[in-house]
A = this chain, B = another copy of it.
Amino acid sequence: MSILTRPILEINLQNLIDNYKNLQKLCSPAEAAAVVKDNAYSLGAPEVSKALYDFAKCRTFFVAHAVEGATIAPLLPDAKIYVLQGIGEDSADLIKKHHLFPVITSWDMFEFWKENRIPSIKPAVYIETGLNRLGFREKDLPRFSEKDKQEFGLVISHLACADTKEHFMNQHQLQKFIELKNLYFPKLKASLSASDGAFLGNDFCFDMVRLGAALYGINTAPYRQNQMKAVVTVKAPVLQISDLEKGEFVGYGATYRAASNKKLAIVSIGYGDGIPRSLSNIGKVYFKTFGQLHEARIIGKISMDNIICDVTEISGLQVGDLAIVLDSDYTLDDIGRDAGTIGYEVLSRLGKNPRYKRIIIPAT
């Protein structure tokens, strides 16, 4: 028996590289760019980018903010780093300093770019095809002069429903992208898809695919078995095992009441560590005892630092044993579904707490 207190976040960079190479094949001959925004979906953009650069020869990266690009640019000497939120008064300095490539999304931003142009940088132009988020609307495009168009080095758009193979939006956006690209930016390299789009077929890949969620193990094509390896594993130690008597309550708000005598394990991880509180009384963890995997339900409200699990039926469990919170059998997608959200949001939270004991399995 051990006494352990810290949750553990394990990041497998070799699996990340394997995922990249698999996706690269799927996209080929399009270039496979890596999306490392939100600090590589919370896992650490410097480590993730460097692994992709060194072990998979990835040379194009996408971040959301210039301040994110600044953390990786010094590690990736001849890479191109695009900034999806573009350029503004609060990011122009960093974009210049680190030689980042802004994605220009509107006329207002394009005017700003022309006043703050950086020699040797050719930004991307983002055209809107149906997501109705950022990007130039179709009616804006005729305003571009021939000279304006020469500012850009890449034309991109983004799919709204690519995780649903038969969704009508996919063909609609594909045709719109082809139409607008051919009409206004026929000479530019083009990129329409993120990971989910790559699974829709080669038509969707153009010159470059922007690989994000799937790199990190998320199933971005949920209509088929996940082809990706798990990149993140989360475990947390049992701090205490206690009896709970019939009729007793558990956790904040006394939302759980025992219908019979129970055995509880208090596990040292909570919503502060990114475990969605919506898993209260719903979620589960796994324990391995005597070589067998056992499911244990989370009971009561999840608190900031702890979850409470029903381990009544699990014999041989000891203090210091590790609860498996996330792994290749209970995935980001599973947790997202159980928590009423998506694996992307779960992943984005997990790596953000520095109190995790972080184990990085390097790529080779």
Which among B66, B132, B248, B308 is the interface contact of A242 at CB below 8 angstroms?
A: B132
Contacts of A112 in B (CB 8 A): 3
Determine whether the beta carbon of B5 is less than 8 Å from that of A90: yes
Instruction: List A320-364 residues whose CB lies under 8 Å from chain B.
Output: 320, 340-342, 344-345, 348-349, 352-355, 357
* B90 contacts A340, C-beta separation under 8 Å: no
Whether A248 contacts B87 by the Cβ 8 Å rule is no
Q: Are A91 and B5 in contact (CB under 8 A)?
A: yes
Q: Answer yes or no: A272 CB below 8 A from chain B CBs.
A: yes
Q: Shortest Cβ distance from A256 into chain B, in angstroms?
A: 9
Contact at A304–B37, with CB atoms within 8 Å? yes
Selected interface stretch from A20-28, A52-60, A103-111: A103-111
Number of copies: 2
Q: Are B250 and A132 in contact, with the CB atoms below 8 A? A: yes
Q: How far, in Å, is A17 (CB) from chain B's closest CB?
A: 23
Give A264 to B128 CA distance when docked, in angstroms.
13
Q: Are A244 and B306 in contact (CB under 8 A)?
A: no
Interface centre among A137, A240, A248, A268 (most CB of B within 10 A): A240
Q: Is A6 an interface residue (CB 8 A)?
A: yes
- Any B CB within 8 A of the CB of A266: yes
Contact B108 A3 (CB under 8 A): yes
CB distance from A335 to the nearest CB of B (A): 13
**Is the CB of A2 closer than 8 A to any CB of chain B?**
yes
Contact across chains for B137 and A87 when beta carbons are under 8 A apart? no
Q: Is A210 an interface residue (CB 8 A)?
A: no
With the chains together, A348 CA to B302 CA distance in Å?
13
Check A64–B132 contact: CB distance below 8 A: no
Contact of A248 among B3, B132, B344, B352 (CB under 8 A): B132
User: What's the minimum C-beta distance from A323 to chain B, rounded to whole angstroms?
Assistant: 14
Indicate whether A160 reaches chain B with its CB closer than 8 angstroms: yes
A-B CB contact pairs (8 Å), 19 listed: A1-B108, A3-B86, A3-B109, A5-B85, A67-B355, A90-B357, A108-B319, A109-B240, A130-B248, A131-B251, A132-B242, A132-B250, A132-B251, A132-B308, A134-B239, A137-B243, A271-B344, A271-B348, A352-B353
Q: Given A5-B88, A160-B253, A271-B345, 7 other A-B contacts at CB below 8 A?
A: A2-B88, A3-B109, A5-B87, A85-B305, A133-B308, A161-B252, A161-B253
**Which 4 pairs across A and B sit closest by C-beta, in order of nearness?**
A3-B88, A38-B272, A352-B352, A64-B305
